[in-house]
Amino acid sequence: MREVTGKPVLLVASDAEPEIAERRRVWGTGGWLPPEARPPEDRETLDWLTLCRFLGWDSDLARVGSSGGLTFPALRYTRWIIIACEPDILGSEAVERVARLLEEEDILVVSRAASAGSGLADLAGVHRDSTRFTGRQIRWSGPGRLREWQCRQAVTAHGIRLNASAGVWATVGTAPAIAARRIGRGTIATLGFHPSRIRDEAGAGTALLKHLLTNGATAPVAWLDFEGTLVLRMDDPGGSQNVHLHSWSYPKMGNRKWTQIAAELRKRRGRLSVGYVAGWVDDGDAMRGTLFLDGNPASRVAGAVHPSPRVRYHDRAGHLPNTVHDYVAEFRGIQAIREAGLGDAELHGFTHVHPDTRRWASAPDRYENMTWYRELGHSAASAIAILSPEQHPVAAGARAIERDFGGRPTTLICPGDQWTLDVIERTLDEGLDLVSCYHLALRNEGRFCWTSHVCAPYLDAPSAHWFDAELPVVGYFHDRELALEGVSWMSKLLDAWESAGATCMIDFRELASVLGKRVHIEKRGATWHLAVTSSGTAPALVRALRVRVRFGHDESPPSVALSLDGCDAETRVDYQEGVGSIEVSALAASEADRSVSFTSDAIGRSHG
């Protein structure tokens, strides 16, 4: 099969949009902020870019200058042009170029509604007016099957006026919200709302945008399937904070509980990311407890950092007297989960303690002040700044994870959800694929891009509304709950998440592996060809890749020719409500350079 080159999406952005400055290595931010702190206009392009990444598509970026001029990159295999800025800033030449592309190519152009009398409004046959309205029901009546979403809170939109050449594709309440006009071989779709604002107001807004891109395109479409996906994240194994911090004290879990965790994951065909702390910090106080390394009594040195898998600590006069904290057994439990294919270890800092560990060990409030346990936050920035690159907590932690577990982590989980820009850039340098805080950062062409589409609620907050966007949800918790409440705490909550709509439980390694794939479908002669290619340094697939396909023209082929990283085979297509579903086996992906075997089943699936 020939190689597919070029990027399927062109994003047209304002040169003044602050979150996508070309010089920046990190676009956006991942902390929880109210919408007014990150206005939709500041992140419109970034929200579109990351949504397209979750669909398995790369994007080119064209910037509109102050004069309205626009330089288009070479367009090859481009199927979507998204005007991700105020449409009125486009100059006449840019609008004329878009018009020519619509006439000549099978593309979908998406834009917010422009002002009456503007070139883009005339091209679209739609303009905005001054009215505002709200509604809870979103209804799609455009190409493909009818869809309806009942929003949990009202979404806002503005009025749009259509001329006779345009038709309504979607409504909010009873008012038009998306209108479309066919021009030549292409289609232009006009939004009666701000795409980032509707995302903030309801996850169904993201689902609508996804549906527009996958069903409104004039050409056939393939996309990654993340519906019902819950990413499981457990923080804090390996860390010493449960020994030292009074408000966070609890015993380590033993073999029995780790065996129970594995059984719960196996029962659900799930995977778990363990946010591991590979460096254990000694307070140097032999009166509080006894430290053993590799089973032998160890000399006590205030601020010394030891490999967590070697540690046993006997609390004598600390927060939990007569408690044995067995990190050796904990490590064995995590390794058993990894070896069973039920999860992997990820980077939760290096020590979870302030990088100047000697200063911490001599501080009067070292056992009470939570700030000492925010290793990557602003309070630690000056201590990190004087370290060598090799001593940086991200670098040291990543090396330790690789040393202890035999593989590099894919994801940084920041202790206490606190970090600095330097930390995120250093994570980029270390080659990690993701950063998980309240939101998620994903590696994209040499930088990290924060996505507002993916949130991380606590595991004890299961609700169907988290899945409204039809994108992954990160459910996070700590080993503390299981140590104190038992594994049944997790089991009951996973039951509740399944009742709320979770159909696939994955870890960050699996998420990174899927986000590292790009998908493209096209017909050559009488045969449909699906290309699945790898991008960057993402890890290999750990299990089957789920892909959805819309062929168009009322076609429903029983199989397609499949190219996986250049290795060809044929695979079956199953159908649900007219949409094709393909499963590419992980075994085939890992053996793409040898003999390839593919299976295809219905997609229906089987704070510290």
Q: pLDDT per residue over 87-124, tens digit each? A: 999 999 999 999 999 999 999 999 999 999 999 999 99
Residue type for 66, please?
S
Q: Are residues 584 and 568 in the same domain?
A: yes
Whose structure tokens read 């309806």?
148
Q: Are residues 97 and 213 in the same domain?
A: yes
What CATH number did the domain enclosing 339 receive? 3.20.20.370
Q: Are residues 578 and 429 in the same domain?
A: no
> What pLDDT band is residue 586 in, cutting at 50, 70 and 90?
low
Q: pLDDT per residue over 352-364, tens digit each? A: 999 999 999 999 9
Q: Are residues 439 and 496 in the same domain?
A: yes
Distance CA 205, CA 203 (A): 5
> Which distant-in-sequence residues (6+ apart) come within 8 Å of 550 by Cβ?
144, 214, 215, 217, 220, 221, 222, 578, 579, 580
Q: Are residues 506 and 524 in the same domain?
A: no
Q: What is the pLDDT averaged over residues 510-532?
A: 95
> What pLDDT band is residue 30 in, cutting at 50, 70 and 90?
confident
Q: Are residues 96 and 175 in the same domain?
A: yes
Distance CA 577, CA 588 (A): 27
Cα–Cα distance list, 31 to 27, 48, 489, 566 (Å): 13, 19, 27, 39
Task: Look at the chain and report how many structural domains it folds into.
Answer: 3
| Residue at which a domain ends, from 512, 541, 571 | 512
> Which pLDDT score, from 0 to 100, does residue 603 have?
25
Q: Are residues 406 and 260 in the same domain?
A: yes
| Residue at which a domain ends, from 219, 244, 259 | 219
> What pLDDT band is residue 227 in, cutting at 50, 70 and 90?
very high
What CATH number did the domain enclosing 127 receive? 3.40.50.880
> What pLDDT band is residue 396 in, cutting at 50, 70 and 90?
very high
Q: Are residues 161 and 28 in the same domain?
A: yes
| Residue at which a domain ends, from 512, 536, 568 | 512
pLDDT for 434 beyond 70: yes
Q: pLDDT per residue over 183-220, tens digit each? A: 999 999 999 999 999 999 999 999 999 999 999 998 99
> Which pLDDT score, from 0 to 100, does residue 455 have?
93
- Range of the structural domain that residue 142 is part of: 9-219
* DSSP H or E run through 344: strand 343-347
In a domain, 321, yes or no: no
Cα–Cα distance list, 111 to 45, 194, 402, 416, 456 (Å): 12, 9, 46, 39, 30
Q: Are residues 420 and 385 in the same domain?
A: yes
In a domain, 334, yes or no: yes
Q: Are residues 109 and 213 in the same domain?
A: yes
In a domain, 202, yes or no: yes
Q: Are residues 372 and 495 in the same domain?
A: yes
pLDDT for 81 beyond 90: yes
pLDDT for 3 beyond 80: no
Least confident of 168-182, 218-232, 565-579: 565-579
Supply the mean pLDDT for the chain: 93
pLDDT for 589 beyond 60: no
In a domain, 361, yes or no: yes
> Which pLDDT score, from 0 to 100, does residue 16 have?
85
In a domain, 605, yes or no: no
Q: Are residues 114 and 85 in the same domain?
A: yes
Distance CA 249, CA 300 (A): 21
* DSSP H or E run through 63: strand 59-64
In a domain, 211, yes or no: yes
- Residue 216, phi then psi, degrees to nearest 5: -85, -15
In a domain, 41, yes or no: yes
In a domain, 601, yes or no: no
